[in-house]
Homo-oligomer: A and B are copies of this chain.
Amino acid sequence: MKEEAMEKFKKFLKTRGLKFTRERKIILDQVFSVHDHFDVEDLLYMFRKRKKQVSRASIYRTLSLLVESGLVGKVDFGEGRAYYEHVFGHVHHDHLVCKECGQVVQFEDQVIEKRQQDICKEHGFRLDYHTLNIFGICPECQKNGENN
């Protein structure tokens, strides 16, 4: 699947007259190896640990391209910084976020997906994508008291 993603990305770059560089390969590799959300600092840290040299600037620039290509999604949890996750090869999902411990649970729900299409139709919008984050308290944190 990583290979498929790589091919797609190469094609995407070609259509724009851009190059498939060492750095872009490293980044795509990592992005499709992590099965969770990550931010730019996370990636930077992973690269440092693995002695892969990629600058913060290149990470930002490549992630933008990956998002534009549709292979990667940008997720905003309202923390003032962006998270990313690979999207290619996955069905769309939404997030259940624990406000206490930060745990994120992914879920998919066809009923909600369908309703969104209907709502767009009603308003004449052409649906592109959506972000649904549900915030709450996870079971563990509920037990651990601070039922704040």
Interface residues of A (CB under 8 A from B): 74, 76, 78, 82, 96, 98-99, 105, 107, 109, 111-112, 115-116, 119-120, 123-139, 142, 147
Rounded to whole Å, the gap between the CB of A112 and the closest CB of chain B is 5
Q: In the A-B complex, list the 5 residue pairs whose CB atoms are closest, starting with the nearest.
A: A124-B139, A130-B134, A125-B136, A128-B136, A76-B78
Residues of B within 8 A of A123 (CB): 96, 105, 107, 138-139
Q: How far is the CA of A123 from the CA of B74 in the complex (A)?
A: 24
Secondary structure dominating the interface of A: strand
Rounded to whole Å, the gap between the CB of A145 and the closest CB of chain B is 13
Instruction: Count copies of this chain in the complex.
Output: 2
A136 touching B120, Cβ below 8 Å: yes
Rounded to whole Å, the gap between the CB of A30 and the closest CB of chain B is 23
A138 touching B112, Cβ below 8 Å: no
- Specify the chain B residue showing the minimal Cβ separation from A116: B134
| 30 contacting pairs across A/B (C-beta < 8 A) | A74-B78, A76-B78, A78-B131, A96-B123, A98-B125, A105-B125, A107-B123, A109-B115, A111-B115, A112-B112, A112-B115, A116-B134, A119-B134, A120-B134, A123-B139, A124-B139, A125-B134, A125-B137, A125-B138, A126-B136, A126-B137, A127-B134, A128-B135, A130-B134, A130-B135, A131-B131, A131-B132, A131-B133, A132-B132, A132-B133
